[in-house]
Amino acid sequence: MNAMVKAEAVHKSFGPVEVLKGIDLEVAPREVFCIVGPSGSGKSTFLRCINHLEKINAGRLYVDGTLVGYREHGNKLYELRDREVAAQRRDIGMVFQRFNLFPHMTAVENVMEAPVLVKGETKAKAQKSARALLDRVGLGEKCDSYPAQLSGGQQQRVAIARALAMEPKLMLFDEPTSALDPELVGEVLDVMRDLAQDGMTMVVVTHEMGFAREVGDSLVFMDDGVVVESGNPRDVLNNPQHERTKSFLSKVL
Amino acid sequence: MTAPPGKAPSDAPPTATAPEAIKAIPVRHYGRYVSAVVVIGLLLLIVKAFAEADLTWGSVGEFFFNDQIMEGVKNTLVVSVLSMLMGLVLGIVLAVMRMSKNPVTNSVAWGYIWFFRGTPVYVQLLLWFNLALIFPTLNLGPIYKDEMTDVMTPFMAALLGLGLNEAAYMAEICRAGIQSVDEGQTEASQALGMTNAQNMRRIVLPQAMRVIVPPTGNEFINLLKTSALCAVVQYEEVLRKSQNIGNTSSAVVEMLFVATLWFLVITTVFSIGQYYLERHYARGSSRQLPATPWQRARQLVFTFRRGTGAGSGAGGGAA
């Protein structure tokens, strides 16, 4: 079976600082793939490379068998145009640490914006499915609220519904619960758990080791731009092999 | 110190569930009375001075709706609105150029803003008006050719002088507005598969408007007042019309009052419009939109009828 995400020696630098120093990994379809590691280890940067929010400097990155951000012709690489990159991103949903909801739109408008604008759905149809999606994340009552009127957990659930509205084949989560009050974390993880049970392919950068252990199918531990350790989440978290992994886990668990 | 005046609380029934409301004697602010009296006294002096001045108040009213004056008001409005539109369109173009990665467009926009912000409008107006002295003919190759004096009418000089100058200011306002929108907004719309143009139109600009509208309103009101300078290029706006009448009827100051009052009327009308525009773009940024003056008035009447001093805290909901 084709990998949903395939990274081959992915390098990324910001100016002189090398953030990713050769990442190789594969995410299978319908898999929940967790990335953990200390801050500054490059895990968020890697996630942002998957939908080309960051350009990689070396290596290859494929989503569902297609090269991300470039076209390979002969043995030359051609940068994709703005429009072509946008088309690639339609199938990849992303959820941000800071929600990034559109503050001038209500919850339901946030969710229906992209289907109407990008996929050309009719407003009536998009609104119907947007309401259904908000219902699914438990916010059927809050459709007409503006983001400023919602709690952090509610905002993040709207953000998940917004990403799902594009019917993506892959969902990226960039520390989705890190900006939330501890008691609001659960409601967001519940939605993600449901999503995983429905068979969505998910790449999750997280500090929630409990979630990774319970829901994750694979886990990688990243540090300083490289994958230090990978495997089944329960094995890695309960029985880490590397010193670096051990010392990190002893601090967060 | 705060002993309640009147009856002791002991003769109230002992079912005291809530404590008695505090009825303290308020602090007297004597300084406020004094300053109010002083200010009112000064105001009366000013009123007295004008009442006794050698002024024919009748001519202010007589000429207020004079045909010539109305013509001048119309011209003031026309040149202000048109140069504001020119400033807005050109300003957006300059702002986009200024933010582009292309070093040529970027520095040309910078140079434009540097020149037009760095020189007085008065000088710019005179330069446009006297352009015919250095370019006797306007020659745009095969498209257009004419005598410069025919092209550079007072209206054109006024429009170019005000509009091109305004564009420099609008460019900076638009740039600040666009840059004030959080980068996460662009990332979110990109992640949803929007193109840059869609992101700008649907996500960034509507949010930038909240930052752009208030200073733009100020700019427009400034522009309205600056349009009085167009008198120097023979443009017949309201000040020049007033002065024309004043010089022939020896009611010089009276006619200046007419112009003053008209400027006040116009700026007041536009300020009210600006209030509603700002309110519109505040959607989603505050949890409760501020009440419109109309809503506030209705609420005040309502509170009086109920006879409770509910204060002016809660606003009327979203329209």
Q: What is the DSSP string of A121-184?
A: --HHHHHHHHHHHHHHTT-GGGTT--GGGS-HHHHHHHHHHHHHTT--SEEEEESTTTTS-HHH
Does B194 touch chain A if contact means CB atoms closer than 8 Å?
A: yes
pLDDT digits (tens, 9 = 90+) for B278-318: 888 877 666 566 677 777 777 777 766 655 444 444 444 33
Q: How confident is the model at residue B11 (pLDDT cuts 50, 70, 90)?
A: low
Q: Judge whether B228 lies within some domain.
A: yes
> The domain that contains B157 carries what CATH number?
1.10.3720.10
pLDDT for residue B297: 77
pLDDT digits (tens, 9 = 90+) for B98-137: 998 899 999 999 999 999 999 999 999 999 999 989 888 8
- In chain B, residues with a C-beta closer than 8 Å to the C-beta of A114 are 189, 192-194
pLDDT for residue B310: 42
pLDDT for residue B15: 58
Of chain B, the percentage scoring pLDDT greater than 90 comes to: 59
Mean pLDDT along residues A150-161: 96
Q: Judge whether B23 lies within some domain.
A: no
- In chain B, residues with a C-beta closer than 8 Å to the C-beta of A93 are 191
Distance from CA of B182 to the nearest CA of A (A): 9
- Please spell the DSSP secondary structure of B6-33, one letter per residue: SS-GGGS-S---SPPPP-PPPPP-HHHH
Of chain B, the percentage scoring pLDDT greater than 70 comes to: 87
Distance from CA of A206 to the nearest CA of B (A): 19
Does B207 touch chain A if contact means CB atoms closer than 8 Å?
A: yes
Q: Judge whether B17 lies within some domain.
A: no
Angle at B64 between CA B61 and CA B68, to 5 degrees: 140
pLDDT digits (tens, 9 = 90+) for A188-229: 999 999 999 999 999 999 999 999 999 999 999 999 999 999
Of A92, A104, A148, the CB nearest to B287: A148
Q: Supply B94's token pair.
A: 């300059």
pLDDT for residue B98: 93
Q: Which residue has the higher pLDDT, B28 or B298?
A: B28
Q: How many CB pairs under 8 A join A and B?
A: 76
The answer to whether residue B262 scores a pLDDT higher than 90 is: yes
Whole-number mean pLDDT of chain B? 86
B192:A166 CB<8 A: yes
Number of domains in chain B: 1
pLDDT for residue B224: 94
Whole-number mean pLDDT of chain A? 95
pLDDT for residue A14: 95
Mean pLDDT along residues B25-53: 93
Q: Which residue of A has its CA nearest to B190?
A: A86
pLDDT for residue B7: 47
Q: Judge whether B75 lies within some domain.
A: yes
Does B318 touch chain A if contact means CB atoms closer than 8 Å?
A: no
pLDDT for residue B28: 87
- In chain A, residues with a C-beta closer than 8 Å to the C-beta of B180 are none
- Cβ partners under 8 Å of residue A49, min gap 6: A10, A12, A20, A55, A56, A61, A68
Structural domain span for residue B200: 58-284
pLDDT for residue B312: 42
Q: Which residue of B has its CA nearest to A167?
A: B192
Q: How confident is the model at residue B145 (pLDDT cuts 50, 70, 90)?
A: confident
Lowest-confidence pick of A72-76, A204-208, B86-90, B109-113: A72-76
pLDDT for residue A95: 97
Mean pLDDT along residues B239-259: 91
Q: How confident is the model at residue B59 (pLDDT cuts 50, 70, 90)?
A: confident
pLDDT for residue B54: 87
The answer to whether residue A239 scores a pLDDT higher than 90 is: yes
Please tell me the pTM assigned to this model. 0.78
The answer to whether residue B13 scores a pLDDT higher than 60 is: no
Q: Judge whether B90 lies within some domain.
A: yes
pLDDT for residue A83: 92
Mean pLDDT along residues B19-31: 88
Q: How confident is the model at residue B16 (pLDDT cuts 50, 70, 90)?
A: low
Q: Judge whether B176 lies within some domain.
A: yes
Q: Which residue of A has its CA nearest to B288?
A: A149
Highest mean pLDDT pick, B5-9, B15-19, B224-228: B224-228
Q: Judge whether B208 lies within some domain.
A: yes
Q: Judge whether B268 lies within some domain.
A: yes
Instruction: Burial-class residue A10 by CB neighbours within 10 Å (0-12, 13-18, 19+).
Output: buried
ipTM: 0.93
B192:A90 CB<8 A: yes
pLDDT for residue B83: 96
- In chain A, residues with a C-beta closer than 8 Å to the C-beta of B191 are 51, 53, 89, 92-94, 163
pLDDT digits (tens, 9 = 90+) for A6-64: 999 999 999 999 999 999 999 999 999 999 999 989 999 999 999 999 999 999 999 99
pLDDT digits (tens, 9 = 90+) for A26-40: 999 999 999 999 998
- Please spell the DSSP secondary structure of chain B, one letter per residue: --PPSSS-GGGS-S---SPPPP-PPPPP-HHHHHHHHHHHHHHHHHHHHHHHSS--HHHHHHHHT-HHHHHHHHHHHHHHHHHHHHHHHHHHHHHHHHHSS-HHHHHHHHHHHHHHHHS-HHHHHHHHHTGGGT-SEEE-TTS-EEEHHHHS-HHHHHHHHHHHHHHHHHHHHHHHHHHHS-HHHHHHHHHTT--HHHIIIIIIHHHHHHHHHHHHHHHHHHHHHHGGGGGGGT---HHHHHHHHHHHHT-HHHHHHHHHHHHHHHHHHHHHHHHHHHHHHTTTTSSSPPPPHHHHHHHHHHHHHHT---TT-SPP---
pLDDT for residue B140: 83
Q: How confident is the model at residue A102 (pLDDT cuts 50, 70, 90)?
A: very high
A103:B285 CB<8 A: yes
B284:A146 CB<8 A: yes
